[in-house]
Amino acid sequence: MPRGKIVNQGEVHMTALIEIESLTKRFGPFVAVDKVSFSVDSGEVLGFLGPNGAGKTTTMRVITGFLPADGGSVNVCGQDVAEFPIETRARIGYLPEGAPLYSDMTATQLLRFVASVRGLSGAEASRRVDWAVAQLGLDSVLDQTIGTLSKGFKRRVGLAQAILHDPDVLILDEPTDGLDPNQKHEVRALIRDMAKDKAIIISTHILEEVDAVCTRAIVISQGKLVADCTPGEFAARSRHHNAVVLTVRGVAEDELRSGLGALPGVADVELRVVESASSCIVFPADGKPIISVLSRHVQAQGWEIDELRVESGRLDDVFRAMTVHDRVVSERQRAAS
């Protein structure tokens, strides 16, 4: 009995719910996904980032078995998706890009249809449909034809069908696209809620979403994986990580620049245009905190402070740096050296 337990634990630790090994997908001569490898474990929410056309949707389509891979392997819950397409799909919930739905069905009909194709019937099906409807607040539109629903409601019906069977793996292609800020907030809360016992991949190009829901982020550019890290590490790559914004009154801009630039640990000072005050962003060398050095300097000079704050890092800077091609090359060379 104890032996069995050990084996079980071993399995849980060894096999991530999603394991992708040098996945390659071509469309004719065009390589859409180029030897991408990553894995997602239970409890993780993976943010899948990349510019449009980078290969995010293609990767998701291979994981869900919609497209066959040209090379490499994809395992979901320990099974190869090409070898066990039905079994693996049964354990995946998928929101395809743009949330395509049968527009001539009502929301209820669609959810019931998906439930029955997923092998749910009777009371169990009703229970699961009701649960999904409650999670996404669809009560008011249940009997409306999907074609007449707003974009936000369509997206939520798409999400409802994806979570209906309480899958181990959730693949959501731009889940919050087209939702208003409140709905975005709710959907993110729902994703965080469900993350405990699932492996979730969400693709997005809204970078704030990475901070809000993801435990990890990967960046893909031109079919290649260029980063795999936590949102914190991701932000740390930004020039703005630990940078300090300082606005003071009655100090000449030149004095500000030269005074701060001479401090230890400061790499650069960039002036900002602010009315009736002098303002700048002070960048640290090597991303190390410089706020204490700065504040001592400000006190010693007796400057009158309007604003003094630390930036955590700008994701869109990092994103741009990683995905604009010529920079990618230098980035990867740096990583290799």
Partner 1 sequence: MSKFGAIFRREVAAYFATPVAYVFGVIFLFLTGIFTFYMGDLYGRGQADLDPFFTWHPWLYLFLIPALAMRLWAEERRSGTIELLMTLPVSVWQVVLGKFFAAWFFTAIALALTFPVWITVNYLGDPDNGVIVASYVGSLIMAGGFLAIGSCISALTSNQVIAFVVAVVVCFLFTVAGLPMVLDVFSGWAPQAVVDTISSFSFLTNFQDMTKGVIDLRNLVYFASLIALWLFVNVAVVESRKGA
304/322 Cα distance (integer angstroms): 39
Tokens of 35: 């030897």
Q: Does 94 bind partner 1 (CB under 8 A)?
A: yes
* Near partner 1 by CB under 8 A: residue from 8, 71, 102, 332: 102
* Near partner 1 by CB under 8 A: residue from 15, 31, 67, 233: 67
* Near partner 1 by CB under 8 A: residue from 65, 175, 223, 284: 65
* Near partner 1 by CB under 8 A: residue from 79, 108, 109, 312: 109
Residues 257-296 that bind partner 1 (CB under 8 A): none
Nearer to partner 1 (CB atom), residue 65 or residue 231: 65
Q: Does 119 bind partner 1 (CB under 8 A)?
A: yes
Cβ 306 vs Cβ 277: under 8 Å: yes
Q: Does 90 bind partner 1 (CB under 8 A)?
A: yes
* Near partner 1 by CB under 8 A: residue from 54, 76, 101, 149: 101
Alpha helices per DSSP H over the chain: 2-14, 56-63, 85-90, 107-117, 122-136, 151-163, 181-194, 207-213, 231-236, 253-261, 291-301, 315-323, 325-336
Nearer to partner 1 (CB atom), residue 100 or residue 250: 100
Q: Does 66 bind partner 1 (CB under 8 A)?
A: yes
Tokens of 237: 């790559």
What string marks each residue from 70 to 89 as x (binds partner 1 by CB under 8 A) or -? ---------------xxx-x
Nearest Cα to Cα of residue 220 among 204, 198, 209, 236? 204
Nearest Cα to Cα of residue 175 among 152, 198, 208, 195? 152
Cβ 73 vs Cβ 21: under 8 Å: yes
Q: Does 100 bind partner 1 (CB under 8 A)?
A: yes
Q: Does 107 bind partner 1 (CB under 8 A)?
A: no
Residues 156-175 that bind partner 1 (CB under 8 A): 161
129/115 Cα distance (integer angstroms): 7
215/201 Cα distance (integer angstroms): 10
* Near partner 1 by CB under 8 A: residue from 17, 33, 49, 92: 92
From the list 12-20, 43-51, 116-124, 285-293, the region that binds partner 1 by CB under 8 A is 116-124
Tokens of 158: 């798409």
From the list 11-19, 103-111, 210-218, 306-314, the region that binds partner 1 by CB under 8 A is 103-111
DSSP structure string for 81-100:
TTTSHHHHHHTEEEE-TT--
221/49 Cα distance (integer angstroms): 9
Helix 122-136 with 107-117: angle, nearest 10 deg? 130
Q: Does 114 bind partner 1 (CB under 8 A)?
A: yes
Q: Does 223 bind partner 1 (CB under 8 A)?
A: no
Tokens of 132: 């999904």
318/238 Cα distance (integer angstroms): 5
From the list 110-118, 240-248, 266-274, 287-295, the region that binds partner 1 by CB under 8 A is 110-118
What string marks each residue from 24 to 63 as x (binds partner 1 by CB under 8 A) or -? -------------------------------------x--
Total of residues contacting partner 1 (CB under 8 A): 30
Please report, as ranges, the residues that interact with partner 1 according to CB under 8 A: 61, 64-67, 85-87, 89-90, 92, 94, 96-98, 100-105, 109, 113-114, 116-119, 121, 161
